[in-house]
Chain A
Amino acid sequence: MYIVKNTGTFPVMIRDLNLHIAGGKIVDLDELFKADTVRKSVDLKRLIKQEKIKEINKETQAPKPTPVFQKPSSRPQEPQVESKILVDLQKGLLEIKDMLRSGVLSQSAEEKQNYDEETLKRIADLQVKNLSDNTENVKKNFEQIGQSTKATENIDQLLGVLDSLDEKGD
């Protein structure tokens, strides 16, 4: 695993890997590319040096530390902040892995035709969630768009007809 985090709020691009990382997002590069490709990426090294990207748990070749026996404490310990972050991180990674494994986000609408209704709704939910998770990636320069017109319509009359049909139907 070679996990990196975009420490800024703006997206960065690792150009020679052709990969965008949204602000604040964590990515396991080994999940997406061959380990060799990642290790050879010049742009990745540059971004790490510039501290735009931070390595989180790059696998090292260093020998494993010798385990030291510690007597368990007699009273339960409060969970450490660091371990909480790690749990969150793991959860996030599992979610990303799930998405990548199922590949649903990269499928075309035609490919999705084969799914049942519930699955399609779940995918739609996931895609919109993915969109809203990346709102920092989407910026717009307007509140309203379009041509506005006003018309006098018989809306209340039509609503009355519809209501009366509903009452008769009831």
Chain B
Amino acid sequence: MATGLDAGTMFLVGSRQEEDNVSYVSQRNCFMTISEGDDVEEMLTSAGAKIVKIGNKLNVLGEDAIVFSNMLSSFGATDASLKRPMRDGVLNSQEEKNSIAVLSSLIEGVIGAPRSEGEICVFSAPSNPINSEKNNVFHSAMLTQILSKLGYTPIALNEALSIIYAENPSMGEMPMSGIAMSLGAGQVNVCMAVRGYPVVEFSMVGSGDYIDQQVSVLSGKSASAVTKIKETRLDFGNIDYGDMVLAGLDIHYSELLKNILKNFAKKFSESGNTYDHPVEIVVSGGTAKPEGFEQKFNEILAEMDLPFEVKGVRMAGDLMNSVSKGCLIKAMQAEKKKQIS
């Protein structure tokens, strides 16, 4: 057996192969803290909430946290804010004390216990960002330790490289060759691979969450309201520019895509590599979900002067699960090698 884990800022997605199917388990990577009080724990448990109790604090996890946070806020509770164990793709330093325990419980809840001794778990890890001082070593080391404590043999895999394994882009006759972009809530991860080996990789902070915050400032609406509009009403093929939120989202998405392509072109030129065949680009991640995203990407791409020819842009088969799927493939390969040796 082997398992894959996409440890994302917004979602945790675990995957396993079960006969002819792949089973995915996904959960929002968030929590809400409530002080212990008379009957509070009993009330939450009977409502079906998933709780981790740390000391005398009750932490409601995942989707339940969103439900209870909204409910308590509507009753006027001041300390009902939603917290994230991760931020910008790595452990959230502002919530670090609880983050480790909460993240550990969420991961265990999503992938369960190992099904064999030392089962391999490949987890997604971001590259170090080019536009921030953040260093992802501590984050990867932390996930390695959490998974080891659960009894797994953990292996880190570059988040964008996992999309190459899941989607198999090609350059000429070469499989597993092309550019993969993972647009998450925290970071954008980019990797160019040739025959499954990474040749250019980097990440950038300032993805989905950042766009929501910027549009929130621009429009005067809360960031969560902007997120909701983005998820339900944004269609790049039909933007109402009289709507500050939609117009703001359109402008910030354009800037984000231009920045990704500009930085990739720079990194590609620095690598000194040249290829005879046009390159296929595969895009994945929750931030790429709005309607018309592919069209938007192609429009921006047409404006850019890139040092290589692009074969085409393809959206991943399943934007939310492809990173976890790539991790699972790598885990199965590692498990196979372990059996042989």
Give A residues with C-beta under 8 Å from B: 11, 13, 20, 108-110, 112-113, 115, 117, 120-121, 123-125, 127-128, 131-132, 137-153, 155, 158-159, 161-163, 165-166, 168-169
Q: List 24 A-B contacts (CB under 8 A).
A: A20-B56, A109-B91, A110-B93, A113-B135, A120-B135, A120-B137, A121-B141, A123-B138, A125-B145, A128-B142, A131-B149, A140-B53, A141-B45, A146-B109, A149-B23, A150-B22, A151-B22, A152-B21, A153-B325, A155-B332, A162-B165, A163-B336, A166-B196, A169-B197
Q: Give the residues in chain B near A168, CB-CB below 8 Å.
A: 195
- Known contacts A13-B56, A137-B54, A138-B52; is-contact A153 B21 (Cβ 8 Å): yes
For B142, list chain A residues within 8 Å (CB).
124, 127-128
Cross-chain contact A145 with B50 (CB below 8 angstroms): yes
Quick one: given A113-B134, A123-B138, A147-B27, are A138 and B176 in contact (CB under 8 Å)? no
How far is A137 from B54 in the complex, measured between Cα atoms in Å? Answer: 6
Interface set of B (CB-CB < 8 Å, partner A) = 12, 14, 17-18, 20-27, 45, 50-56, 61-63, 90-94, 96, 100-101, 104-106, 109-110, 112, 133-135, 137-139, 141-142, 144-146, 148-149, 165-166, 168, 175-176, 195-197, 318, 321, 325, 328-330, 332-333, 336
Give every chain B residue within 8 A of A108 (Cβ-Cβ).
93-94, 96
**How many A-B contacts if CB must be within 8 Å?**
158
Q: Are A158 and B196 in contact (CB under 8 A)?
A: no
Q: Report yes or no: A11 in contact with B50, Cβ–Cβ below 8 A.
A: no
Q: Report chain B residues within 8 Å CB of A159.
A: 329, 332-333, 336
Closest CB-CB distance, B163 to chain A, in whole Å? 12
For B104, the chain A residues whose CB sits under 8 A away are 128, 131
Q: By the criterion CB–CB under 8 Å, are A162 and B110 in contact?
A: no
